[in-house]
Structure 1
Amino acid sequence: MAIHVEVELPGGGQVHAGDLDMHLNRGGALVGCTFRYDTAYLRRPGAYALCPELPLTPGNIPSGSDRPLFGVFADCQPDQWGRTLLFNAERRAARAEGRRFLTLTELDFLLGVQDETRLGALRFSLDDGRTFLGPARSEVPDLVDLPSLTEAADAVAQHRETDRDVRLLVAAGTSMGGARPKATVKDEAGDLWMAKLPESNDRWDVQAWEYLTLRLASDAGIEVPVARLHRIGPGRSILLTRRFDRRPVARDEPDGPAGGRRIGFISADSLTQKAFFEVIDYRTLAETLADHSGRPATDGHDLFRRVAFTLLVRNVDDHMKNHGFLRRADGWSLSPLFDVNPNPFAVAESTPLVPGGSRIDRDVRELLATSDSYGLRPDDARGVLAEVAAATAGWTRVAREMGLPSEEIALMAEAFENPNRDEAAA
């Protein structure tokens, strides 16, 4: 079955990019795929390779054995949270229709995401672009639906969800990655926002601390999405960030697409063509980015700044899916920062700084020693580190301004006052 793939180009205009075939074995497991660019797309000014695995060449392009699905398509599939919702939706539909539960495949996950909320610039069709998958099951929720979304997410986590809970959460989008509950909602102007929802077993107000960290990142000269914090009770918040893979429709476009113009997106996982079993380090990411960026010097410097920030706030939710790149007319460039969470417990395996480096005890001195991979001279790298250290030093003041509990501030000192801050001061 050929999937008709359309893409919205940076200069505007949605075009047929090519056709995707996904190859499943008898058990429904994905064993590979093939993509073929449309001939007219290859000749089109402004056409670009959808991801590094798909160079602009004619003919069938097969996937590799260690990456059965091309990265740009994997990036707009649901991750753990979204897959849980789609499984629940299928189970309930089968029960209501009196039929057997269907085993969902990678093809179902790719096509099951609601088209309006899908991450990135791709759209999929099985009828040559007349209709796009997945169809809307209901309207994307509004900001006023946030309390209901939170209650529904709590119900799913506690395995007591109703049909209404699942319908509401599926309508709110399943394309965003990660295991934590999240939803896409619309504001009054129709723009899309991602809402990160609390979990009932959170040990601290995770969303409030991520909001604080985004504020510090902005002070440190790092591009962040527009963000709001919505408090819903003691120790519970919802973090709202405007979707950076959408560009608001201009006022002179009365018939513009719902939710805004789509912007191409791939993860660092896709940029580096990371195999499932492979560990990619930051030095390798920096050197790979230089080959694909439309502004390699700027992106290299920005990536160094982000890695320094990650070390100083002890962000351990740090892997190749949590770095993204947006498609611009001249190439791929770093997206605004996302999924950055301080953690007082340095036990998670994170991205190493160099090949074979530690994934837990990451040392900022090792980052400085590799500054040339980011296009920085040693003196300039130390200057960037000093700026990031200064911007993050006032974290307790920001936490108090936000009214965060003193016990949480004391706990988070383990994250912000970590050994790398002492090394940066030295």
Structure 2
Amino acid sequence: MSSIHVEVHLPGGRRVHVGDLDLQLNTGGALIGSMFRYDAGYLRTHGAYALCPELPLTPGPIPSAGDRPMFGAFADCQPDQWGRTLLFHAERHSARADRREPVRLNEKDFLLGVQDDTRLGALRLSLDAGETFEAPPRVDVPELVELPSLTEAAEAVADHRTSGQDLRLLVAAGTSMGGARPKVTVRDADGELWMAKLPMRTDRWDVQAWEYLTLRLASRAGIEVPVARLHRVDGDRGRHSILLTRRFDRLGDGRLGYLSAESLVQKAFFETIDYRTLAETLADHSGRPSADGHDLFRRVAFTLLVRNVDDHMKNHGFLRRTEGWALAPLFDVNPDPFSVAESTPLRPMGNRIDREVRVLLETCGSYGLRPDDARKVVAEVSAATAGWADLARDLGLPDGEISLMAEAFENPNRTEASGLAA
């Protein structure tokens, strides 16, 4: 099996050959291991950095660990559930058109099937030594005006009635964004890339509008968030919202390296990682450990006060800056009135459902904070999020949803945090 030629955009925009990747598949097509070798020239390049903790800057072949057959840097730019669904449907539709049996897609197919224009992060993959990059554009990345068509196409996928035109449009809009919710990448009039989260028929409330509200609250709380817009579209099911966030892994014509928290801590599939462990690991890898540690504490406090349960190691990320890895803007924060989902515990062996501000404060030292400063941060976040209902009304959200969401925002942690400001 031929090696995959890997290039990367270094901070500042330089594109260099970083090394070569080999994937080891068994006879059934399952990934059983990977091997990576840094290019000797890259190891001598000023500004060269390790793509992920599993790949230190050393010469010679580096094998993957048995419980992580794909290196984190590459796993992060692979398609997740939504993207894999699209690539599966696209292959099945192509096979039907060509009157052949569908190819059984494997991990290499998924890795190389993501369109190069929209791939997450700074890595670029080639099978011809960098002459062309995988996957070449089938059609141009859609524009903002095509959001209604993209929404209809995503609904067609969910209903198993997809046409070839739907699939071409959705695959062109990107398959690299993670998660199960339909996500697409679109270009605005200036050519900048935006990620659009689309509605689902199974949504019990206006998920995108509430996420937009939560991002607004996070900004008030002193947390960096991506530039975001809320786009309303009229369709067969009435009016619904699309959340648009500017791609923070792009900077002009350059690309910024991206690493998920899951890859930073080298999480095994069945392993549970807690926030204390993440904070302590971050201190070893961040280019600005004090600032990132304090910021992570503020984000965790925010998560508890808005009852964000879509909370796992893939929903935190890091961007490669000149000084090293740094926390990416906050993303995927979804308040939920039903606190039954298991989320990231605050400390090893901690509760994954009823997570308490009190426990977060007890672990503040792992984030580099003194107890008095930690209590001050929690009080600031509590004050910044207290006006959630007024903001919801300003955004035109229905009274019924505001009443429902009170279960998320007016939770016991808010009572605890309010006492800190007294």
Letter in 2 for 1:57: T
Letter in 1 for 2:229: R
Q: List aligned pairs for 1:77-226, cutoff 5 A.
A: 77-226=78-227
Task: Work out which of the residue numbers 281, 291, 294 in structure 2 matches 1:298.
Answer: 291
Percentage identity across aligned positions? Answer: 75
Q: Shift of the alpha carbon at 1:11? A: 2.3
What corresponds to 2:24 in structure 1? 23
For the residue of structure 2 that corresponds to 1:177, the secondary structure is coil
* TM-score normalised by the chain length of structure 1: 0.97
Does the aligned pair in 2 maintain the 1:172–1:185 contact within 8 Å?
yes
What corresponds to 1:419 in structure 2? 412
Task: Work out which of the residue numbers 265, 279, 282 in structure 2 matches 1:286.
Answer: 279
What corresponds to 1:8 in structure 2? 9
What corresponds to 2:317 in structure 1? 324
User: Counterparts of 1:142 and 1:59 in 2: how far apart (Å)?
Assistant: 43
1:105-149 CA distances to partner (integer Å, 9 max, x unpaired)? 000000000000000000000110001000111110000000000
Does the aligned pair in 1 maintain the 2:12–2:254 contact within 8 Å?
no
For the residue of structure 1 that corresponds to 2:373, the secondary structure is helix
Does the aligned pair in 1 maintain the 2:232–2:242 contact within 8 Å?
yes
Task: Work out which of the residue numbers 396, 403, 414 in structure 1 matches 2:396.
Answer: 403
Pair 1:267-2:271 in alignment: no
Letter in 1 for 2:221: A
For the residue of structure 2 that corresponds to 1:17, the secondary structure is strand
Does the aligned pair in 2 maintain the 1:141–1:168 contact within 8 Å?
yes
- Which segments of 5 or more consecutive residues in structure 1 lack a partner in the other structure? 249-259
Pair 1:360-2:353 in alignment: yes
Does the aligned pair in 2 maintain the 1:227–1:242 contact within 8 Å?
yes
Letter in 2 for 1:272: V
Task: Work out which of the residue numbers 351, 355, 364 in structure 2 matches 1:371.
Answer: 364
What corresponds to 2:244 in structure 1? 240
What corresponds to 1:257 in structure 2? none
Does the aligned pair in 2 maintain the 1:205–1:235 contact within 8 Å?
no
What corresponds to 1:62 in structure 2? 63
User: Counterparts of 1:150 and 1:50 in 2: how far apart (Å)?
Assistant: 35
Q: Structure 1 segments of 4 or more deviating over 3 A? A: none
What corresponds to 1:393 in structure 2? 386
For the residue of structure 1 that corresponds to 2:379, the secondary structure is helix
User: Counterparts of 1:393 and 1:297 in 2: how far apart (Å)?
Assistant: 27
1:273-298 CA distances to partner (integer Å, 9 max, x unpaired)? 00001000000000000000000000
For the residue of structure 1 that corresponds to 2:337, the secondary structure is coil
User: Counterparts of 1:161 and 1:37 in 2: how far apart (Å)?
Assistant: 41
Does the aligned pair in 2 maintain the 1:5–1:20 contact within 8 Å?
yes
For the residue of structure 1 that corresponds to 2:282, the secondary structure is helix
User: Counterparts of 1:406 and 1:282 in 2: how far apart (Å)?
Assistant: 35
User: Counterparts of 1:399 and 1:62 in 2: how far apart (Å)?
Assistant: 50
Task: Work out which of the residue numbers 335, 343, 348 in structure 2 matches 1:342.
Answer: 335
User: Counterparts of 1:378 and 1:126 in 2: how far apart (Å)?
Assistant: 53
User: Counterparts of 2:136 and 2:54 in 1: how far apart (Å)?
Assistant: 28
1:3-46 CA distances to partner (integer Å, 9 max, x unpaired)? 00000001221000000000000000000000000000001110
1:61-82 CA distances to partner (integer Å, 9 max, x unpaired)? 0000000000000000000000
Q: Shift of the alpha carbon at 1:100? A: 1.0
For the residue of structure 2 that corresponds to 1:49, the secondary structure is coil
Does the aligned pair in 2 maintain the 1:7–1:16 contact within 8 Å?
yes
User: Counterparts of 1:82 and 1:401 in 2: how far apart (Å)?
Assistant: 34
Does the aligned pair in 2 maintain the 1:246–1:262 contact within 8 Å?
yes
> Root-mean-square deviation (CA), in Å?
0.6
Does the aligned pair in 2 maintain the 1:11–1:46 contact within 8 Å?
no
What corresponds to 1:251 in structure 2? none
What corresponds to 1:256 in structure 2? none
User: Counterparts of 1:162 and 1:416 in 2: how far apart (Å)?
Assistant: 41
User: Counterparts of 1:235 and 1:12 in 2: how far apart (Å)?
Assistant: 41
Q: Shift of the alpha carbon at 1:235? A: 5.2
User: Counterparts of 1:49 and 1:182 in 2: how far apart (Å)?
Assistant: 29
User: Counterparts of 1:186 and 1:11 in 2: how far apart (Å)?
Assistant: 22
For the residue of structure 2 that corresponds to 1:188, the secondary structure is coil
1:238-293 CA distances to partner (integer Å, 9 max, x unpaired)? 00000000002xxxxxxxxxxx3100000000000000010000000000000000
User: Counterparts of 2:171 and 2:231 in 1: how far apart (Å)?
Assistant: 21
Letter in 2 for 1:247: L
- Which segments of 5 or more consecutive residues in structure 2 lack a partner in the other structure? none
Does the aligned pair in 2 maintain the 1:204–1:235 contact within 8 Å?
no
What corresponds to 2:39 in structure 1? 38
For the residue of structure 2 that corresponds to 1:137, the secondary structure is coil
User: Counterparts of 2:239 and 2:366 in 1: how far apart (Å)?
Assistant: 41
